[in-house]
Amino acid sequence: MTDRNEFIVCADLEEISWKVTVKFVALANDTIKKRGVFRVALAGGRTPEAFYKLLANNEFRDRLDWTAVHFFWGDERCVPPEHEDSNYKMTLNSLIKHIRIPEENVHRIKGEEASEKAAAEYEEEIRHCFEPGEEAIPEFDLILLGMGADGHIASLFPGTHAIREDKKLVVAVYVEKLGATRITLTQPVIKNARNIIFLITGEDKSVTFRKVLSGEYMPNTFPAQIARSTKGNVLWFLDFFPGLVG
């Protein structure tokens, strides 16, 4: 377990959203001051929506120079951008429409395209934006993640080939339990982030959370355990007590 884990226990999603917004603005401004750009991979699912809406309101949105911010996604469903399941659509409506971020700074995963093609294009776009050098792994300033009750993060689901990918930055993966194909960042990219913020709510996830943090290291079973071997800081925003994590 890295000593760069910080657990922030909140009363509810509202408090989590508020504290993540404050942290996001501070981290973004600090990063922009140091390096002139802030590259963040956004999370999908339901939990982060309240945070996105808070970041978009006039209390916070004017505290950032959005021209220095680049949005990516940790994963996307293989659906068109206007589909109700699209992570992009959720983020567009809750955040992007309300801030002055340049269109070219929004690096959408093209879920409407054939999945392998969309994954390859997204990887190319990431490489172009980061220019890490041929073999290097891009270093996101921040990756936002949720966690499923099965311990999945992004679209790295237990037992899928995606969790074992250690060369590509992005893969397409058919998720049996969902009966759907997803496109996702891979382990190497997530592990290389300077900062990871988890937003996790619900007692149903607290049991999995403790196995993730303290159980035997089995990322193929609990993909969120990847966070135990990252190089960066990991902030866990929770609405339950973490218990003894070793």
Q: Footprint of ligand 6PG on this chain (CB under 6 A)? A: 43-47, 74-75, 87, 146-148, 152-154
* Residue least distant from ligand 6PG (Cβ): 146
CA-to-CA distance for 165 and 162, rounded, in angstroms?
5
Question: Please, what is the minimum distance in Å from the beta carbon of residue 243 to ligand 6PG?
Answer: 20
For ligand 6PG, the closer of residues 68 and 145 by Cβ is: 145
The order of strands in the sheet holding 170-175 is 75-77, 180-185, 170-175
What are the Cα distances from residue 174, in Å, to 80, 128, 156, 169? 17, 26, 10, 17
Question: Please, what is the minimum distance in Å from the beta carbon of residue 205 to ligand 6PG?
Answer: 8
For ligand 6PG, the closer of residues 188 and 202 by Cβ is: 202
- Coil, helix or strand for 199? strand
For ligand 6PG, the closer of residues 141 and 239 by Cβ is: 239
* Cβ 173 vs Cβ 103: under 8 Å: no
Question: Please, what is the minimum distance in Å from the beta carbon of residue 24 to ligand 6PG?
Answer: 16
Question: Please, what is the minimum distance in Å from the beta carbon of residue 184 to ligand 6PG?
Answer: 8
For ligand 6PG, the closer of residues 44 and 219 by Cβ is: 44
For ligand 6PG, the closer of residues 43 and 64 by Cβ is: 43
Please, which residues have CB within 8 angstroms of residue 104's CB and are 6 or more apart in sequence? none
What are the Cα distances from residue 110, in Å, to 19, 80, 83, 172? 31, 7, 12, 12
Question: Please, what is the minimum distance in Å from the beta carbon of residue 29 to ligand 6PG?
Answer: 25
